[in-house]
Amino acid sequence: MDTFLPSDYAPPATNNNYLKWAKGNTRFRFLSSPITGWVYFTQDDEGKKSVFRVRPTEEAPAAVLKAKHFWAAIVWDYQTESLKILEITQKSIQATILNLNSNKAWGNPKEYDLCVVRTWNGNGI
């Protein structure tokens, strides 16, 4: 009998194309240079929140609650062994990568793996 899918097939647990910082180590490799911009969080009159990402030269949408500068790039995620989009809004991570890039001993971050260690649990602890 001809089968449509393999008998051991199981759908992926998530279908998220963005790399998230895992608790502990997240190892990745930049495959593209980052694009930069602003990510804005807004709320309408009914309380519905929305997210907008714009290039640095574009105007912010109305009713901005919060804005963060971001980098976005294509990376290789070693955990899932797949391509992901990495969005970095944390200034400390951006500064560290900029320092590596300008250091002659390290150079272009696309030439080596990076590892981010997450110690904060998201609850302020």
Whether residue 109 is contained in a domain is answered as: yes
**Residue 19, in any domain of the structure:** no
Closest CA to 86 of 22, 40, 41, 1: 22
Confirm whether 50 is domain-assigned.
yes
Task: Provide mean pLDDT across the span 95-105.
Answer: 96
Residue 88 makes CB contacts below 8 A (sequence gap 6+) with 34, 70, 71, 72, 94, 97
User: What 3-state DSSP class applies to 17?
Assistant: coil
**Residue keyed to tokens 């602890």:** 125
Count of the separate structural domains present in the chain: 1
pLDDT, one tens digit per residue, over 14-54 is 668 999 988 889 999 999 999 999 998 888 888 888 888 88
Cα 24 to Cα 51: distance, rounded to the nearest angstrom: 27
**Percent of the chain topping pLDDT 70:** 87
- Does the residue 12 lie in any domain? no
Residue 125 placed within a domain: no
